[in-house]
């Protein structure tokens, strides 16, 4: 039996809600898969859709963007921009033949440590089902 494929996930989390929610998951000792690698940004609105493409190019098997719940953005409107931009990107990815299970968006508030765990599990599970991603190859760190 072959070993289970462990996908590599890159996640972009807003500082105020989702990153704080992930911190809370830690403080509450909630356990979740180690496949997720977080990059902190101040707002989900900072996430340039190209970051998602870039992550897939650089070897991520799945990408997650998580921000404050719509209406709760620390910067008033940032997550609305994120929702619109990344919603478009999701369609574009599908059009480009990328398995939609590789890209997730979620809204996790600073008090939702348990929701964060669920989001991570779902993202990892979906990426695992989608298998290794090598459609866009770059994989190079320019130190």
- Which residues are near another protein by CB under 8 A? 8, 10, 15-17, 19-20, 22-23, 25-27, 29-34, 37-43, 45-49, 51, 54-55, 57-60, 71-78, 81-82, 85, 109-112, 139-143
CB 86, CB 28: distance < 8 Å: no
Q: Name the residue nearer to another protein (CB basis): 76 or 129.
A: 76
CB of 52 to another protein, least distance (A): 9
Q: Which of 68, 61, 72 is nearest to 135 (CA)?
A: 61
CB of 58 to another protein, least distance (A): 3
Count Cβ atoms below 10 Å from residue 109 Cβ, excluding itself.
Answer: 18
Rounded CA separation 121/20 (Å) = 18
CB of 109 to another protein, least distance (A): 6
């Amino acid at each position: 039996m072959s070993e289970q494929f462990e996908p590599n996930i890159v996640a972009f989390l807003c500082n105020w809600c989702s990153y704080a929610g992930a911190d809370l998951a830690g403080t509450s000792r909630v356990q979740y898969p180690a496949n997720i690698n977080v990059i902190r940004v101040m707002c989900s609105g900072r996430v340039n859709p190209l970051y998602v493409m870039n992550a897939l190019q650089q070897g991520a098997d799945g990408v997650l963007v998580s921000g404050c719940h719509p209406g709760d953005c620390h910067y008033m409107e940032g997550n609305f921009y994120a929702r619109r931009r990344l919603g478009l990107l999701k369609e574009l990815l599908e059009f480009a033949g990328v398995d939609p299970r590789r890209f997730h968006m979620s809204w996790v508030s600073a008090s939702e440590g348990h929701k964060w765990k669920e989001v991570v599990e779902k993202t990892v599970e979906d990426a695992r089902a989608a298998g290794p991603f090598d459609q866009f190859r770059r994989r190079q760190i320019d130190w």
